[in-house]
Amino acid sequence: MVTYAQRHGLKPLGAGIGLRRSFYAELPRTERPLDWVEIIPENFLSLGGRSQRALDACAERWPVLPHGVGLNIGGPDALDDDYVRGLAALVKRVDAPFFSDHLCFSRLDGVYLHDLLPLPFSEAAVEHVVPRVREVMDRVGRPFLLENPSYYARMPGGTLREADFLRLVVEQADCGLLLDVNNVYVNARNHGYDARAFVDALPLERVVQIHLAGHTCYPDVIVDTHGDRVCDDVWSLFRYVLARTGPVATLIEWDQDFPSLDAVLDEADVARASLREAAGP
C-alpha cells in the first residue's frame, strides 16, 4: 500500500522538540542531536524581535513544522481568512514540508475558547469538516495533518466510534494523520477502551507524524498536561505503533513546567532510538 507520506514525497524526519519561549536562546545553539523543530504558528504569525531571531536561527539548522491550535477546523464559524492567509505565508517562509492542527473546535461566534474541544463523532461532523480541510490544503498549498485530540467528555450526537470518525475525516478529506500517542493513552484510560485496539482501527497508512508527551494522573482522571516525561506505558504504545507504521517524524511535546533543555533532548534521544529500531538493520 502506498502511504500518504509516499504519495507526497515526505520522508521520516526523526525526533524533534518544540521551539518554546523558554528555549529561544539556548536551542539554536545546542550541539545535541536534533532532527527537526515544531512551532506553534500562533506564536510566530506576527514576527519580530526575539521570536523572529529564534525561528530564523532554528530554520537555518533544521526542518520546521508548524502545528496550530487556532484553525478551528471543526467549529461552526467560517474559517478565519486572516489566520489562514498568515498561516500560508508562515508555512512558505519556513519551507515546511507539511503542517498540522487539531481535529476539534476552538472558536464559537467569534470568541476563542482557549481550549481544544472535541467534536461529536458523527456523520454530520464529517460532512462539515471535510470541505474545510480541503479548503485549507488548497489555500496553504502543502500537505496537511489532523491530530486526534484528548477529551474528557463525549460530545452529544455521536453515532460513530472515535476511530471510525477519524478514518472517515482523513480519508474523505485526503489529508494525513498526526497520531498523538499520549492522547490515545489518556483517552483510553479515561473512557475505558483498549489503546492498542484503537490504534489497529486507525488508517495508519496516513500517519506522517507522532506526538509524545507526559500527563498528570489524578484519582479519577488523567489530564493531558504536557508537563512531564513520557511514561513507560506511552513509550510501549509508541513502539507498538512504530511496529505498524515504521519510522515516523516524532515530537516530544513539553509545554509547561519546563525542565532544562537537556532533559527534553534526552526524551528525544529515547524516541530516536525507537525510530532506529523500527527502521531495522
Q: List pLDDT tens digits, range 14-40.
A: 999 999 999 999 999 999 999 999 999
Q: Which of 141, 148, 136 is nearest to 73 (CA)?
A: 136
Share of the chain above pLDDT 70, in %: 99
Q: Which three cell numbers stand for residue 134?
A: 480541503
Q: Residue 156: pLDDT above 90?
A: no
CA angle 150, 203, 36 (to 5 degrees): 65
pTM of the model: 0.96
Find the mean pLDDT for residues 103-115. 75
Q: What is the chain's mean pLDDT, rounded?
A: 95
Q: What is the pLDDT of residue 238?
A: 98
Give the three cell numbers for residue 193: 477502551
Q: How many CA atoms lie within 13 A of 185 on its CB side?
A: 26
Q: Residue 48: which pLDDT band, with cuts at 50, 70 and 90?
A: confident
Given a cut of 70, whether residue 246 has pLDDT beyond it is: yes
List the one residue out of 262, 271, 274 whose CA is nearest residue 27.
262
pLDDT for the residue 117 = 85
Supply 132's cell numbers: 474545510
Is the Cβ–Cβ distance between 106 and 72 less than 8 Å? Answer: yes
DSSP state letters, 122-148: SHHHHHHHHHHHHHHHHHH-S-EEEEP
pLDDT at residue 113 in the model? 59
